Amino acid sequence: MRRAPALLINTADIELWPGGLLRARSNADARALAQARWVLRRKRDGRYLAVATAHGVLPLVPRLMREDGIEAALDALDQQALAHRRSAVADSTLLPLSGLQQRLAQLDIDADGYGRPLWLRRSAARGWQRLQLAAAAEGVALDAISGYRSHAYQLGIFERKRARGLAVDDILQVNAAPGYSEHHSGFALDIGTPGEPPAEESFEHTAAFAWLQGNAGRFGFQLSYPRDNPHGIVYEPWHWCWRAGSPVG
Ligand SMILES: [Zn+2]
């Protein structure tokens, strides 16, 4: 079942409006609203604070992270995205599958993001650099496997796996549908360690994972999909996400 989108997400200080419902008050607002999936609006005076786009949160005010209630609003946004992703996993008809077969022939790469340049939002990248250095200082080697991925790139992962004969339902067990990956945010990072195959559950038995569990939080990173997570997403010990409002800015 495809659930109807919520019209408004209400938090104590900030409302979240779906893109396309609010009227722009300036050219700058208009440009931002044009790409907004959600608009964060200050309740007190109606000021637009930020828009959430496919590529992350775009502030419309200076010092967005100091706004009252911003963390609660961003948490609500995260929850909404996860609920959306969960419904996508449950309903594969949301996938743009038509025309896939025709595009398959054009694909000649067989790498799910490995060996490509790493892209992360600045705050997340800073946190990752500090985390990696701190781990190295304690003799733990960590590699970044995959950070930001565009929708097109995520679709490419699906296409390559379809080309190998995997069913859509099976792909959805391990890859989010295009548009629903936390990697689209630029805050998510897949982490590996030398000598270990990338993005495998066996990562949980490494010293690297033990170190992350004890220390990643200090650098703002959290495990997005622990074992038996409430989102029904497969356990991913390698997938970590930097959260706004985390201790390292
Ligand atoms: Zn990941």
DSSP state of 19: T
Task: Centre a 10 Å sphere on the Cβ of residue 42 and count the other Cβ atoms it contains.
Answer: 19
Q: Could you tell me the distance, in angstroms and rounded to a whole number, from the CA of residue 204 to the centre of ligand 1?
A: 14
Residue 55 has pLDDT above 70, yes or no: no
Q: Could you tell me the distance, in angstroms and rounded to a whole number, from the CA of residue 194 to the centre of ligand 1?
A: 17
Which pair of structure tokens corresponds to residue 175? Answer: 């890859």
Residue-level pLDDT at 82: 64
Residue 23 has pLDDT above 70, yes or no: yes
**pTM (2 d.p.):** 0.52
Which pair of structure tokens corresponds to residue 117? Answer: 């340049």
Q: Could you tell me the distance, in angstroms and rounded to a whole number, from the CA of residue 178 to the centre of ligand 1?
A: 13
Q: Could you tell me the distance, in angstroms and rounded to a whole number, from the CA of residue 82 to the centre of ligand 1?
A: 14
Q: Could you tell me the distance, in angstroms and rounded to a whole number, from the CA of residue 213 to the centre of ligand 1?
A: 16
Residue-level pLDDT at 90: 41
Q: Could you tell me the distance, in angstroms and rounded to a whole number, from the CA of residue 203 to the centre of ligand 1?
A: 13
Q: Could you tell me the distance, in angstroms and rounded to a whole number, from the CA of residue 131 to the centre of ligand 1?
A: 17
**DSSP letter for each residue of 74-131:** HHHHHHHHHHHHHHHHH-GGGS--TTHHHHHTT-----SSTTSPP---HHHHHHHHHH
Residue 244 has pLDDT above 80, yes or no: no
Residue 3 has pLDDT above 90, yes or no: no
Q: Could you tell me the distance, in angstroms and rounded to a whole number, from the CA of residue 199 to the centre of ligand 1?
A: 8
% of the chain with per-residue pLDDT over 90: 27
More confident residue, 111 or 135: 135
Q: At 215, is the secondary structure helix, strand, or coil?
A: helix
Residue appearing with tokens 């060996």: 115
Quote the mean pLDDT of the chain. 78
Q: Could you tell me the distance, in angstroms and rounded to a whole number, from the CA of residue 84 to the centre of ligand 1?
A: 17
DSSP state of 237: T
Which pair of structure tokens corresponds to residue 241? Answer: 């996400």
Q: At 248, is the secondary structure helix, strand, or coil?
A: coil
Which pair of structure tokens corresponds to residue 140? Answer: 């733990």
Q: What is the arithmetic mean of pLDDT over 215-232?
A: 91
Q: Determine phi and psi for 172, rounding to 5 degrees.
A: -65, -15
More confident residue, 215 or 147: 215
Whole-Å CA distances, 15 to 19, 40, 104, 186: 12, 6, 42, 23
Q: Could you tell me the distance, in angstroms and rounded to a whole number, from the CA of residue 170 to the centre of ligand 1?
A: 16
